[in-house]
């Protein structure tokens, strides 16, 4: 597990989050006018997974239950296709955020029932790491201590079962950026969430050396009257991480959280440019890696090469941000080339 954890945050590489549920992928397909059929979902993900050269920048892929069972057009299971390229297959195992009992506005992530058996099956299908996401809103007294504790316990129970199965757990506590809260409010919420998470991981005997953290960056709410700039985001995010994430954790793989493609890259680059840090700072992006490729593909086989070029470009940009050498000029240079 130690080797897998370190490999997922290898130099210049990060993770593709291709674990959208059927509901989420339908929304994204609807936005580009593509019916969300099983075949279209399979063909789209095969386009991403078979992109020439993308293994130079992508270390692992988080799959969904449907996707880990699918095959390429020539019959190769997706986990095998990825592994043959040196990309580590992983699996999302939570079953989504559900209303928290006795709370009108907060959620807790479910999916622990039967998880030991599902891990056994997923390992047999080729998964080498797992992922579990919890979400927290900010404002009007949120996140409550109740919500923070409930999700920390669930994340830690998942992580312990994941390691028991020989898989690396990615723990994803996401403080949502929906709302008008300030960056300072986001920082306080993120700090509370991370402190509770690591208290619980320790209590449940999880080996932090074989885990990865997938957190939000500390951003202003998307409806805030004033948005924090790159320097402010970088300083606030690193401050929270240094205070609350143990150095034993080998890597932090940020979620993009609805940022634009380039904003997610710029923020990651700024944090790495200020390194080195106790942990590798990498990415585990979904939309920020895929959105341009999805628009280019549009459900048409003749657009396959264009979609793969768009995906490779974003992977390469974020690979550069992993080491702090990205610059916006690289975006223009790639377009001209």
**What are the catalytic residues?**
172, 214
Do 136 and 150 meet the contact criterion of CB atoms below 8 Å apart?
no
**Residues contacting residue 165 through CB under 8 Å, at least 6 positions apart:** 116, 119, 120, 123
Neighbours of 261 (CB within 10 A): 21
Angle between helix axes 115-125 and 145-164 (nearest 10 degrees) is 50
SS3 108: strand
Do 99 and 24 meet the contact criterion of CB atoms below 8 Å apart?
no
DSSP annotation string for 130-156: EEEEEEE--BTTBSPHHHHHHHHHHHH
**Residues contacting residue 119 through CB under 8 Å, at least 6 positions apart:** 93, 130, 161, 162, 164, 165, 167
Which tokens is 266 given? 């710029």
| Alpha carbon distance 196, 155 (integer Å) | 10
Q: Name the residue among 316, 272, 61, 70 with its Cα closest to residue 170.
A: 61
| Alpha carbon distance 243, 253 (integer Å) | 17
Q: Name the residue among 211, 294, 285 with its Cα closest to residue 254.
A: 285
Q: Name the residue among 101, 98, 76, 99 with its Cα closest to residue 89.
A: 76
Q: Residue 329 burial (CB < 10 Å; 0-12/13-18/19+)?
A: exposed
């Amino acid at each position: 597990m130690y080797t897998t954890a370190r490999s997922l945050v290898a130099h210049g590489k990060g993770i593709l989050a291709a674990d959208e549920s059927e509901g989420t992928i339908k929304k994204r397909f609807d936005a580009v006018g593509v019916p969300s059929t099983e075949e279209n979902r399979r063909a789209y993900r095969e386009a991403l997974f078979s992109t020439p050269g993308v293994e130079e920048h992508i270390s692992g892929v988080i799959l969904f239950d449907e996707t880990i069972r699918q095959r390429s057009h020539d019959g190769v299971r997706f986990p095998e296709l990825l592994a043959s390229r040196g990309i580590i297959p992983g699996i999302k195992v939570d079953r989504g955020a559900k209303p928290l009992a006795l709370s009108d506005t907060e959620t807790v992530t479910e999916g622990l029932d039967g998880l030991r058996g599902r891990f056994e099956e997923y390992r047999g299908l080729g998964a080498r790491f797992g992922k579990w996401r919890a979400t927290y809103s900010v404002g009007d007294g949120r996140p409550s201590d109740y919500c923070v504790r409930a999700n920390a316990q669930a994340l830690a129970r998942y992580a312990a079962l994941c390691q028991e199965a020989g898989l690396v757990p990615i723990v994803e506590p996401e403080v949502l950026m929906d709302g008008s809260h300030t960056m300072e409010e986001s920082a306080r919420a993120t700090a509370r969430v991370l402190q509770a998470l690591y208290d619980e991981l320790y209590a449940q005997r999880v080996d932090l050396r074989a885990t990865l953290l997938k957190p939000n960056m500390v951003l202003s709410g998307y409806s805030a009257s004033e948005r924090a700039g790159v320097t402010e985001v970088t300083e606030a995010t690193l401050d929270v991480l240094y205070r609350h994430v143990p150095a034993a954790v080998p890597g932090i793989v940020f979620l993009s959280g609805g940022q634009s493609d380039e904003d997610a890259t710029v923020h990651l680059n700024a944090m790495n440019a200020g390194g080195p840090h106790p942990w590798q700072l990498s990415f585990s992006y979904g939309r920020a890696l895929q959105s341009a490729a999805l628009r280019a593909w549009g459900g048409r086989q003749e657009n396959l090469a264009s979609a793969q070029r768009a995906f490779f470009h974003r992977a390469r940009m974020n690979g550069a941000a992993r080491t702090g050498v990205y610059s916006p000029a690289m975006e223009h240079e790639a377009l001209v080339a």
